[in-house]
Amino acid sequence: LRELEASQRTLLAEHEERIHLLEMERRRLHNDIQELKGNIRVFCRVRPLLPEERERQRGLPHLHFPPQDPRSLVLTRPDDSQVGRERRAELRYDFSFDRVFLPGASQQEIFQEIQLLVQSALDGYPVCIFAYGQTGSGKTFTMEGPDPPGAPESRGMIPRAVRHLFLGARDLAGKGWQYRFSASFLEIYNDALRDLLLAKGERGSELEIRRLAPDSDELHVPNLTWVPVETEEQVLELLVRAGSQRSVARTGLNERSSRSHSVFQLRIQGEHAARDLRCASSLTLVDLAGSERLEKSGSVGNRLRETQSINSSLSALGLVISALCNKEPHIPYRNSKLTFLLQNCLGGHAK
């Protein structure tokens, strides 16, 4: 019996070693695939027409989706006649993305495209996903879902991503990994940081972005509220709490326009005690404030300052993404609070 027990222990140890090696190989191959697809990707989602828009226009005649190419989008418009130039029936603009989602695309279809990126966060890589577009284009719906929360199929990317991570952590528990998750939610309004998870009526201290240590490139926000989370329902409660405190206002382009960038961050810490292994990463999902043209939005006073701040920070983000794509030696993270805050989520091996 002792000999049998010893042989079984040896066999078990060999199996555990093989499972561990296979898991490490899976992580390596998964990351190789993500890097081949590109650490920076751009998807385009076209929202369906709203009821009041259907009354003004018939369908989307100016948008064309080539049936054999899910990466292309064609925009057309009538040609304005100009003196000295031959008039054409219409002008055509071809755009290419990593993926184009038609107006009928569901929240689940969108999530399937980013699901593997979310998995990278569990594997130890920082992942950051932005919803970018003009005001009223459906960014908050894509990220958080409808307000108030509706059926499970309408849930946005944040609850879906968190659910995927919790399920993945549960599977990895059988391989010896234990994970801890904590969430924060802040907004950047007029280039100032505001904690969205404070209790109602509670005034938080002024938030600033600091380095963890003088010689460290790691950034953090002292005094920001971090809430331990274990279930999707807890995250949904945080979304409702944060949404009730976010800065919104009516403009000439949107009845309820988000006037700030909202940044949801999930801190992920994994540990394999038996092998003394640790991994730490973050998943950041950002619902950017909507860009808008001043002459169309009719913004004045506070709205005007908000619009200028929003457009300035979006321009700074564009410069950072462009510099990362071109592998430039200097990345202008410090041009805005938004890019400085997300510096650790954008450079290096981040997705």
175 assigned ligand-binding residue:
no
Residue 156 annotated as binding? Answer: no
Is residue 296 marked as binding? no
Q: What is the token pair recorded at 244?
A: 């009730």
Judge contact between 283 and 141, C-beta under 8 A. Answer: no
**Cβ 63 vs Cβ 44: under 8 Å:** no
Q: Find the farthest-apart pair of alpha carbons in the chain and give their distance in angstroms, rounded.
A: 99
Query: Half-sphere exposure of 99 toward its Cβ, with a 13 Å CA cutoff?
Result: 14
In whole angstroms, give the CA distance from residue 265 to residue 238. 12
136 is in an annotated binding site: yes
102-123 as b/e: b if 16+ CB within 10 A = eeebebeebbeebeebbbbbbb
Structure tokens at 92: 């055509």
Query: Which DSSP symbol is given to 153?
Result: G
Residue 140 assigned as binding residue? yes
Closest CA to 256 of 132, 131, 135: 135
Confirm or deny that 137 is annotated as ligand binding: yes
Distant-in-sequence contacts of 220-223, Cβ < 8 A, 24+ apart: 221/184, 221/186, 221/193, 221/341, 223/195
DSSP annotation string for 19-67? HHHHHHHHHHHHHHHHHHH-SS--EEEPPPPPHHHHHHSSS-TTEE--T
d(CA 152, CA 243) in angstroms, rounded, equals 18
138 annotated as ligand-binding: yes
Q: Which amino acid is at 234?
A: Q
Partners of 130 in beta bridges: 286
Annotated binding residues for ATP, written as ranges, equal 133-140
Annotated binding residues, written as ranges, equal 133-140
